[in-house]
Structure formats: structure tokens, C-alpha cells
Structure 1
Amino acid sequence: MPTFTAPDGTLLAYHLRGEGDPVAVLPGGPMRASVYLGDLGGLAAHRRLALLDLRGTGDSAVPADPATYRCDRMVEDVEAWRAHMGLEHMDLLAHSAGAALAMLYAARYPQRIRRLLLITPNPSALGMRGTPEDRLAAAPLRADEPWFAEAFPAFRAWLTGEAEFDDAFVPFFYGRWDDAARAHADAELEQTNEEAEGRYFADGAFTPDTTRAALATLTAPVLVYAGDVDGGPRPGLARRAAEAFPRAEFTVQPGAGHYPWLDDPEWFVSRLLAFLDGPADSVLPSAE
């Protein structure tokens, strides 16, 4: 397991899977150990994945200052990681909350981005975020599922602030609720640093106007990838996030939730490879 030292002295770890051209991967959660990403549906059969454990998660050390769990405070961790791996510029993939960190990194270090892939991204860095109303609007898409009748009342009560989180509605986060999804969901609690999760989006983490201005000059191609039954982000919100980038393409995976590599690995990998294999000076047409 390779490690490197962050600028503040925290020892950080990352994991290598597969062979081929490298793709640097930032996990979401927020603050969930990168193990939940697996091999991204088989992408590791085509690319060498470097999956970072953010500070205080997985095999990375807990920092001396817990305030450094705030998203913007970890941008320099990513830059130190890039330098440690010896990459002049990199293909950077980020999932969910990790996309907020990736956007901040791309805004600060645009010359280091070769391609940027944002998978079911949280666009908080752009001053945008999914709402409970978004999730409630997406929920009826699952009305034919056998678990829906039991799960929806609990889901609605949670979203309206009337009840606590309930495992009964976890299926809403997955496009296909099968044994693989159940195992993936069951592992979340032990893989997540709850203190760090609470600090990731702390006040001051984002300056959307500044970030948008910087990203408007990004010359690298960007893929913004949504699942069509995901409630956060819904495809419409993901599409609006894509508009922040001058060279973005937008894709919606049919039947996919928040973890699209689990729902249809073949579709997921083929779409990512089409983007990664394309010339860096062109952008493919959007696919929906």
C-alpha cells in the first residue's frame, strides 16, 4: 500500500488496482474510505486506478487538526498526491461528494487536469446542491419496485425532517437493489469517518463565484455523469453543473442510481472508456 505525506505532515494512503494508463480517483461519502469504489465496475481491467483514502479514512492517518477535514483544506492533499505519483497532469475521476473536492482542485490547478470525470457529482462547489424536494420528485420513478411501499413513507419522513435515517429506504440510492447493493450499503457505516463527514461541508468550504470563474477557463475535457433514477443529483441538476465547464459532455446512465458502476457495470465502463480514449482536444457528443 503506497503512502505519501501531506503538506501538514499527515500520512495519506492510496490503493492501486489494474494496469494501464493511470486514473486518479477521489471517493465520496463524504469521507468514506475508497474501498467502496471497488474496481469501478471493471474499469481496472482497462486502466490503473489510484484510489485515494482521504485523511482520516481507510488507511490514511487521522490529522492533528480536525478542521482540515473541510473540503477546501484537502485540495493541497490532492496536489501532493499528484506530485508523489510523478504525473505532470492527470485524468481525475471523482464520485459524489468527492466531485466537490475535484472541482476545487481543478479551479486551483487547472494545468494539472488532463481529463475530469464527475460521477453522480455533488455540485456544492458551484453553489448548487440537491434538495429534499429533488429526492421526493425522483422517488416515484421506483414505484414499481417491491420494496417501494414500505420504504417511501420512511423516506418522505426523513426528507421532511419528521424522522431519522432509516435503513428501510436505502434502496432509493441504488438503481438495482440486489445482493451486491445490499452488501455495499451494509459496509457504509464502518467505512465512513462520521466526524470528518460532519466537517466536510463546513462553512467557508466554498466560494462558488470564484470557483465558477476559474472553471470557466478550464481547457481540459470534462464528463459529468448522472444516473437517471438518482435523486441527488437528479439529471437536471447534473446537467446544470456541466454548464460551468467550457468543454463538458453530459451523460445519463439508464436505470442507474447513485452508484452506477454497480447498476450496469458494462454500460458504465464502456461510457467512461469512450471518454478516456478520446483525444484530449475534443469532446464527444452528449449521451442521454
Structure 2
Amino acid sequence: MTTARYPSYDGTSLCYRTLGPAPERVSPTLVCLAGGPGRDAAYLEDLGGLDRDLPLVIPDLRGTGDSQAGADPAGYAFPRLAEDVEALRAHLGLERIALLGHSAAAVTAQAYAARHPERLSHLVLVTPGTRLQDRPTTDAQQIFHSRADEPWYPEAVAALERLATAHELAEIKRLLTRVAPGTYGRWEARQQAHAAAEGEQLHPVPRAAFWQGVDEAVRRGITDALGGLEAPVLVVTGDRDGASGVAAGAVVAGQFHDARRVNLAGCGHYPWVDEPEEFRRTVATFLLGRPAG
């Protein structure tokens, strides 16, 4: 793994990590965006060992991880974050990139696809939501409550109810920790360790400003443009995802003329944590056009 920096469109110094083989040896290069919103990219880890198959570039979005905070809070809105991605592509000297967005970052990835379609070879959206499409789904709650017989459930469901009205980041962090078991495929040591880091990885200003200035016209402009995207699209969901659910994946995939949907069994909101090999094979096969090794 190597760490480097690049100047974005406004001079903000942003950090990124590179993992896996050199881009000149294996194509495409996969740029991987962290969600949250406003979460350090460290939680993406190596995406279930995907760096064994492809070059990965994992940026800390502005105001997170080792990246500099922007002078203008409007830069944290996801359409502007998409321009940070474009600045990274130019910095890397790549004509085109494959782009992966997890959770909230699936929105940033869609904004990038709408604005820079000619720069994309592939688009991968992992456990997306539907706020961009303004089409709410309800199956995430059903999935969450289907696990009422698990020992963590009573505390988690109480925290979930309080989360709907929480505004202070410190309280949100505490509640997310209690809700976390319902967002993984199972609640074992691996999942517990991954979830424990979330509170310290969230940043208040990038989180609060993610949707800043994004009105219906902006959303519609993005979603309308996606129907003409020529790059192939993969939408990955998990059948135990109590955060985004499965139905959201169908809504998001339905925007594109060439989208493949894969629902991974036994996986929650972080499929590379629950079933790393299955996640790796699914994404690598899609990107490489052949079965992953």
C-alpha cells in the first residue's frame, strides 16, 4: 500500500491510498469511494481482498481521514465531491476509471457518472439508498425487524427509534453503535470490530453538508442523465441489509439501460466484511469480464 496526495480543483490537498497491482499491469483501475456520509475511507479496508485482482485507489474524501478540510463547506455536497474524483482521475493520468461507491457514496458515484460519463469504464454501486431518486423503500426495516430473536435486538431497536430524531453527532455515533448489529449479515467478532471503528471515523461537517444545496432540479438532472450512460453498471445488495435493504438496488439499477443486479446471501450493508470472497469474486468478475481467480 502506498499513500499520496493530490490538489483538487480548488487547491485543497486530498489524500489517497493505492493497493494491488500497478495500473499498467491490470486494467481497469478501480477508484473506491467511502460513504457515511463523511466517513474515513479506512473502513473500506481492501474490499474483501479485491486488491488481489485489480489496482485500487481509495481516496479520503475532503474533510475525512488524512485529507484537508475544504475552505468552503459547499464543497462537501456530493456533486462537488464528484469533482474531487475527477481531479483525482486527472492526477492519476488515467483516460478512464472504474468507480465504486458504497452506501452514501453511491450517490457521489452516480453524480460523477452523470457529469463525466466519458471517463467511466465501469460503475459499481454497493448497498445504495434511494434518496437521490426520491423513491423511498421499506424492506430495510422489515429485514432489521426479522431478526427480533437475536440477543442484540432489544437495545438496537430502541436505538433505531431514537436515531430518527437525533441531531447531535455524539448521540448519533452512540446510537449507530447500538444499531450496527442489524446492518451486518451476522454479529460475530469480525463484524463487531469493524463496527466499533465507525464512531471515530465520522466527521460532522462533511456529514451535515453532503446534501447541501441539492434540490429537486439537481437530483433530476443527475438521474435523467444516467439513462444514457454507456458504461456497464453493477449494483450489489445484501439480503440481510437492515440499513438500505434490497429493493433500493432495484430502484437504482432501473435508471440505467445496462445494469446488472446481484443480491448476496448472508450479507448486510458491508458485504466485503460478511462474505469477503463472494464479494470479491462478484466485483472482480464484473470488472475483468472473466471469472476472478
- Determine the C-alpha separation between the residues in 1 that align with 2:178 and 2:132: 31
8 Å contact from structure 2 (residues 30, 97) kept in 1:
yes
The equivalent of 2:204 in structure 1 is 194
Matches within 5 A, 1:224-263: 224-263=235-274
Moved more, 99-108 or 142-151: 142-151
- Determine the C-alpha separation between the residues in 1 that align with 2:41 and 2:136: 23
Among 85, 89, 104, the residue aligned to 1:82: 89
Among 57, 61, 68, the residue aligned to 1:54: 61
Is 1:116 aligned to 2:126, yes or no? no
Indicate the SS of the match to 1:138.
helix
Indicate the SS of the match to 2:221.
helix
Moved more, 144-153 or 168-177: 144-153
Q: Mind listing any 5+ residue stretches in structure 1 that lack a counterpart?
A: none
Count of equivalent residues? 277
8 Å contact from structure 2 (residues 182, 243) kept in 1:
no
Q: For residues 25-60 of structure 1, what are the alpha-carbon distances to aligned partners after superposition, in whole Å with 9 as ceiling and x for unaligned?
A: 111111111111000011111111100110111111
- Determine the C-alpha separation between the residues in 2 that align with 1:95 and 1:205: 22
Among 143, 150, 156, the residue aligned to 2:148: 143
TM-score normalised over the length of structure 2: 0.88
8 Å contact from structure 2 (residues 140, 246) kept in 1:
no
8 Å contact from structure 2 (residues 139, 246) kept in 1:
no
8 Å contact from structure 1 (residues 104, 125) kept in 2:
no
Matches within 5 A, 1:7-86: 7-19=9-21, 20-21=26-27, 22-86=29-93
Q: Mind listing any 5+ residue stretches in structure 2 that lack a counterpart?
A: none
Q: For residues 159-195 of structure 1, what are the alpha-carbon distances to aligned partners after superposition, in whole Å with 9 as ceiling and x for unaligned?
A: 477xx65333220111121122122111112212111
Which ranges of 4 or more aligned residues in structure 1 deviate by more than 6 Å? none
- Determine the C-alpha separation between the residues in 1 that align with 2:229 and 2:238: 25
- Calculate the aligned-residue CA RMSD, in Å: 2.1
Change (3 A) 1:83 1:112: same
TM-score normalised over the length of structure 1: 0.89
Q: Sequence identity of aligned pairs in percent?
A: 41
- Determine the C-alpha separation between the residues in 1 that align with 2:115 and 2:97: 14
Matches within 5 A, 1:85-96: 85-96=92-103
Q: CA offset at residue 204 of structure 1?
A: 2.0
Indicate the SS of the match to 1:78.
helix
